[in-house]
Structure 1
């Protein structure tokens, strides 16, 4: 891995939240919360419409995080990479038709466990077109060295 690339940022990526995508995602994770799948019930809620499940953030962050993972300048051995963990800080709910802009940054890269493993942390900041924060995600990936 090229440790000189810590701090590198990537161009913003746009994602429009689709109603059917939110419903499909909720079904895929077996979550039948009416806020995610029932338009009539969701309209009666304090949100006034369907909202996306919190973990839907992985869907609208994937393009920005992917830019870092597939960046040839980082020299990541992708076949040896596994997803270690992720954490999110949510600033507001996401609804269908919201437009989300995400920007990724290589937050850190370091060696672990007697240099047998390399770790890379990618931070993804998401906001609305007017700059309102939506979500911040931190992804940690583990790369085993030969």
Structure 2
């Protein structure tokens, strides 16, 4: 069983720059064809200050952590038994090319189902820009197979 005392554990925050090329690559990777996500002139014509981040982009910011998937270390997970269960986003503002986003994250809950055969780890992330404005939150649920 996973250590329930880790509920509430806060990971080290980190800040990363949102690069224009990275936004273009992400848009291409998800099949986004709207030119506002790849062309600065189209973005400005649509009323954006520069190229905006496509929906779900904040997840890729999580991968910029100095430590890859720190939740694996904190909960002593066997990566081969981890499944991605769900991801939910809430948006409060825009993320743009050139922004510096601080990612803060914590373990919000750990619970089990099927008599402990499956454990669920809920992680909450907050994304704040360089103006200290909360632009997005995400809730990520990992499934850990114990059998």
What is the TM-score when the length of structure 2 is the normalising length? 0.91
Deviation at 1:67, TM superposition (A): 4.5
Deviation at 1:130, TM superposition (A): 3.2
Question: What SS does the aligned partner of 1:54 have?
Answer: coil
Runs (5+) with no aligned partner, structure 1: none
Q: Which runs of 4+ in 1 moved over 3 A?
A: 63-68
* Count of aligned pairs between the two proteins: 145
Q: What does residue 130 of structure 1 align with?
A: 131
Cα RMSD of the aligned pairs, angstroms, is: 1.6
Q: Give a deviation string over 1:77-115, Cα, whole Å, max 9, x none.
A: 321000000000111111100000011100000111221
The correspondence of residues 39-50 of structure 1 with structure 2, limited to 5 A, is: 39-50=40-51
Per the alignment, do residues 103 and 127 of structure 1 end up closer, same or farther by CA in structure 2, a change over 3 Å counting? same
The correspondence of residues 16-95 of structure 1 with structure 2, limited to 5 A, is: 16-63=17-64, 66-71=68-73, 73-95=74-96
| More helix by percentage | 1
Deviation at 1:16, TM superposition (A): 0.5
Per the alignment, do residues 100 and 34 of structure 1 end up closer, same or farther by CA in structure 2, a change over 3 Å counting? same
Runs (5+) with no aligned partner, structure 2: none
